[in-house]
Amino acid sequence: MARIERIRNKIQLAKENIQEFEFHFNLVVQQVAALHDELTILENQIDETNNVLRQWTTTD
């Protein structure tokens, strides 16, 4: 019976570890999504800046 209890404890610990991993993994996914959004904004700003610079150089 003690062996069964040890196995149950290990299973419970494994479940808790999986839940903690899922929690941290989801945080990382959210952070990556936020970084992707920020990079998209920066990319758009760079494109806008390049367009303005192109206009300046072609009108002179």
Q: pLDDT per residue over 31-49, tens digit each?
A: 999 999 999 999 999 999 9
pLDDT of residue 32: 99
- Calpha distance 4→17 (Å, rounded): 20
pTM for this predicted structure: 0.70
pLDDT of residue 58: 85
pLDDT of residue 60: 57
Structure tokens at 3: 């062996």
Segment 5-21 mean pLDDT: 98
Residue 7, classed as helix, strand or coil, is helix
